[in-house]
Structure 1
Amino acid sequence: MLFPFFKNNYLSIDVGFRNIKVVEVAVNRNNEVYIKNFGIAPTPLNCIKNGVIKNVDAVSSEISRIIRENKMKVKKSKIVMSGTSIISRVFLVEKVKGKDFDTIVMDTITDKMPINPNEHKIDYKILQELNENGKEMVKVFVTAVRKNIINSYIDVLFELGLKPISVDIPANSTAKFFNRDIKVNIDNVKFMNPNRKDLNKDAFAVIDFGSETTIINILRNKILEFNKVILTGSTNLDDAIAKNAHKSIIEAERLKKAYGISIPPPHTTNEEHVKVYKILKEVVDKLLNQIYMCLTFYEARCYGVKVGKIFIIGGGSMLKGLSDYMEQVLQIPVYPVGLLDIDGIDINKNLNSEKLNFLVNAVGITL
């Protein structure tokens, strides 16, 4: 149990494509988090489009029901927005004497990013200062979100009568978590390719496997340097099984959970396992190819290095056999991480801990 004197209590809300997660947390003076209560419910259909909450009333009504049924009383609230609506880039910007650095960065953003500065909320952070050919250069990480998207999330909080503290993006939530110590055994390396001595111990990826998306974050020295959203998630696996095995979506999801991407034993007579494996392998291979392209893009185009390890989070990360299969394909050590593997997180022991992997983004934004 964490130190009992908490400085803040929050309701943290994560509105996903498939599920809405509401978490009541307490944060103490040491920035340790105690999960007091949580609720998860399906997101009303057709309420989110391109990251914007199109039906504020329907989403607010469902959140209100979760809050009421779980007897949550806190008013201060934080909300995390959909990952598909966020644009991020890394730029190398030259410092010019006598010119305001903010202006230089904004000029670079206007020139190189497909956005209207008047319609977007733009933030940047300095990653590194370096000297190239006698020039003072600064590496910056830029994120941009349309203001109307942010406002749709704030509207939900106001509709609920809550006090908005922040609207955040999944990448920030992940970065806050992985600034902490991760309680997985990375010294006892379960995989090591002697040909990959080029892997960098200071750079790692955190891959969030969601229902509709897969979000790739790369941190170097625990600072976020790359973020990319891939529009493939666990529902694509269900759809592939349903289509190719002629099953209902409910049955497809059951088969996915039963067999996952675990390789069938040699000479098996379980034809169902073999069929599901082949179907899922095709989808997962395409996804891993996109992940590989992100890792190489980060290294080649974002002034990065080779990633030394991968942590996987989110509901989709629980797919049977996924971490072993990723290691085999990407040739990088892969470690599944649950909420309680992160230092400084504790949970009310009366709660159902099976759903904790779905709460990473909701809890992360409270830090």
Structure 2
Amino acid sequence: MVTIPFLKNNLLSIDIGFRNIKIVEVEVNRNKEIFIKNFGIASTPKGSIKNGAIQDVRAVTNEISKVLKEIGVKTKNAKIVMSGTNIISRVFLVENIPGENLDNTVRMTISQSMPIDLDAHKIDYKVLKEIKDDGVPKVKVFVTAVLKNIIKSYIDILVELGLKPISVDIPANSAAKFFNRDIITTESDTWFKRNKYSKLDQSTLAVIDFGSETTIVNILKDRVLEFNKVILKGSSNIDEAIAESNHVKLDEAERLKKIQGLTPLDLSFDEEQVKIHNSIKGVINEIVRQIFQCFEFYEKRCFGDKVGKVYIIGGGSQLKGLTSYLESVLQVPVYHVGLLSIAGIRINEGLDSDRLNYLINSVGITLS
């Protein structure tokens, strides 16, 4: 009897955000199951990222190098996630002309519809589906464009660290890879929401990544990414609002935010707590307003369907009361998803599971 070895691929992934750098070492087997061997989180040096590009490669590599030594990483094959503020994405309907090269047709559409220098950008697109628009055969394509010099700044990080660059990816692709998998929710939560929202078509879902400086809205149809938008507001804006209204420092404002969250007010709340609540709600409402705009744009301009379900991820998604508040205003089922809510993930014993919710993007890019 011949024994076939259980193939494993060791990878290091690095997710560089505005506030934190997340580093995770994983084993991915041939069944796409992921074993998290180790991870570390470091603070992103202030001023080292501007408009998505790494401005101070040395400062960033120094922080990453410290973490790699602390957690004892030996893997050299590395993938990296870039910040999302300078990633342009669009959905287009392109006429499907027999005999014409689709690449040329897409590039022509981009040159006419997107105000970018094609030579300066790395352009990727994927065909979502073929449709007929007023009887004319067309293809629906999802286009992403990133400045080549921004991509290079991330590759420079890996090279400076002596790692072997495998890929530079965007947060939207990471989320899309994960949400191709089964999502594990509590049985009671699933039963309640399934009954309450039984009339909704949930084949179109949104994955909303609440970060420190940004909130990223991804929309997937039948688990295929069809829309991505970066909202330039995040949890740090809540800290600033609390600090201003309550006349406290930012670190104290962050502490108050974590304690109170979006807990509904009652008669026992004092004036300070009311101010905190109103500050949090004001920022969240502005983010929600822009989320609604994304949903509307996707339906009307991207030829999409109504969003029937929402998953929230990221550090900011852990705000108390956020899930129930979003559900009440969006009127769709909302699920808070951590790393261990996703099928096929195992972790090394002894790792801090509470911090794993920050790793979805960094782990997601390890999938092919």
TM-score normalised to structure 1 length:
0.96
Coordinate RMSD, CA, aligned: 1.5
The superposition leaves residues 107-154 of structure 1 with CA deviations (integer Å, 9 ceiling, x where unpaired) of 001110111110000000000101222211100000000000000000
Call closer, same or farther: CA 1:282–1:96 in 2, change over 3 Å.
same
User: For residue 134 of structure 2, what is the aligned residue in structure 1?
Assistant: 133
Q: Which amino acid letter does the alignment assign opposite residue 17 of structure 1?
A: F
User: For residue 40 of structure 1, what is the aligned residue in structure 2?
Assistant: 41
The superposition leaves residues 79-112 of structure 1 with CA deviations (integer Å, 9 ceiling, x where unpaired) of 0000111000000111112311111111001110
* Residues 1-367 of structure 1: pairs in structure 2 closer than 5 A: 5-185=6-186, 187-190=190-193, 197=199, 199-265=200-266, 267-367=267-367
Gapped regions of structure 2 (runs ≥ 5): none
> What CA distance in whole angstroms lies between the structure 1 residues aligned with 2:290 and 2:82?
23
> What CA distance in whole angstroms lies between the structure 1 residues aligned with 2:282 and 2:103?
46
- Aligned to 1:311, the other structure's residue is in SS state strand
Q: Which amino acid letter does the alignment assign opposite residue 33 of structure 2?
A: E
- Aligned to 1:25, the other structure's residue is in SS state strand
Give, in angstroms, the shift of residue 277 of structure 1. Answer: 0.7
The superposition leaves residues 286-315 of structure 1 with CA deviations (integer Å, 9 ceiling, x where unpaired) of 110110111111111100011001000000
TM-score normalised to structure 2 length:
0.95
Equivalent pairs, count = 361
> What CA distance in whole angstroms lies between the structure 2 residues aligned with 1:132 and 1:163?
45
> What CA distance in whole angstroms lies between the structure 1 residues aligned with 2:59 and 2:215?
26
- Aligned to 1:211, the other structure's residue is in SS state coil
The superposition leaves residues 190-244 of structure 1 with CA deviations (integer Å, 9 ceiling, x where unpaired) of 48767x94x3220000000000000000000000000000010110000100011
- Aligned to 1:357, the other structure's residue is in SS state helix
The superposition leaves residues 144-173 of structure 1 with CA deviations (integer Å, 9 ceiling, x where unpaired) of 000000000000000000000000000000
- Aligned to 1:340, the other structure's residue is in SS state helix
The answer to which of 288-297 and 95-104 deviates more is 95-104
Call closer, same or farther: CA 1:279–1:117 in 2, change over 3 Å.
same
Q: Which amino acid letter does the alignment assign opposite residue 164 of structure 1?
A: P
Contact 2:122 2:146 in 1 (8 A): yes
Contact 2:216 2:228 in 1 (8 A): yes
The superposition leaves residues 42-75 of structure 1 with CA deviations (integer Å, 9 ceiling, x where unpaired) of 0011000000001001101110111011111110
Call closer, same or farther: CA 1:189–1:110 in 2, change over 3 Å.
farther
The percent identity for this pair of structures is 60
Give, in angstroms, the shift of residue 271 of structure 1. Answer: 3.2
Contact 1:191 1:327 in 2 (8 A): no
> What CA distance in whole angstroms lies between the structure 1 residues aligned with 2:299 and 2:110?
21
> What CA distance in whole angstroms lies between the structure 1 residues aligned with 2:269 and 2:47?
42
> What CA distance in whole angstroms lies between the structure 1 residues aligned with 2:171 and 2:91?
17
Call closer, same or farther: CA 1:263–1:147 in 2, change over 3 Å.
same
Contact 2:246 2:272 in 1 (8 A): no
Contact 1:192 1:333 in 2 (8 A): no
> What CA distance in whole angstroms lies between the structure 1 residues aligned with 2:269 and 2:154?
51
The superposition leaves residues 15-47 of structure 1 with CA deviations (integer Å, 9 ceiling, x where unpaired) of 110001110101011010000000001001100
- Aligned to 2:308, the other structure's residue is in SS state strand
